[in-house]
């Protein structure tokens, strides 16, 4: 059996960052323009400084942090 998350639907479903590459998947590649746009907006919303030098992986992690993505669904009201 391979360690490929794309081939394992259970592992893929457990990834909280749907549509955003998993951490450590892209090494030091610069963040995408889509990530930059989303991260810039989230940083403004949270009063944080936008760092345009983040890698794709670091940007994905920061986006998840600012969104509050922790793999757990928020409570329903």
Token pair belonging to 60: 């994905």
The arithmetic mean of pLDDT across residues 40-55, rounded, is 95
Res. 17: pLDDT tops 60:
no
46 or 7, greater pLDDT = 46
pLDDT band at 70 (very low <50, low <70, confident <90, very high): low
**pLDDT for the residue numbered 28:** 83
Q: Tell me how far the alpha carbon of residue 31 is from its chain's centroid.
A: 11
Per-residue burial over 1-23, b = 16 or more CB atoms within 10 Å of its CB, e = otherwise: eeeeeeeeeeeeeeeeeeebbee
14 or 52, greater pLDDT = 52
**pLDDT for the residue numbered 77:** 53
pTM (2 d.p.): 0.59
DSSP per residue, 17-70: STTSPPTTSSTTPBPPHHHHHHHHHHHHHHT----TT-BHHHHHHHHHHHHT-S
């Amino acid at each position: 059996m391979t360690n490929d998350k794309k081939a394992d639907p259970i592992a893929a479903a457990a990834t909280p960052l749907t549509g955003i590459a998993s951490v450590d998947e892209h090494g030091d590649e610069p963040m995408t323009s889509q990530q930059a746009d989303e991260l810039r907006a989230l940083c403004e919303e949270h009063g944080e400084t936008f760092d345009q030098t983040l890698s794709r992986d670091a940007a994905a992690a920061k986006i998840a942090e600012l969104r509050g993505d922790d793999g757990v669904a928020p409570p329903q009201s």
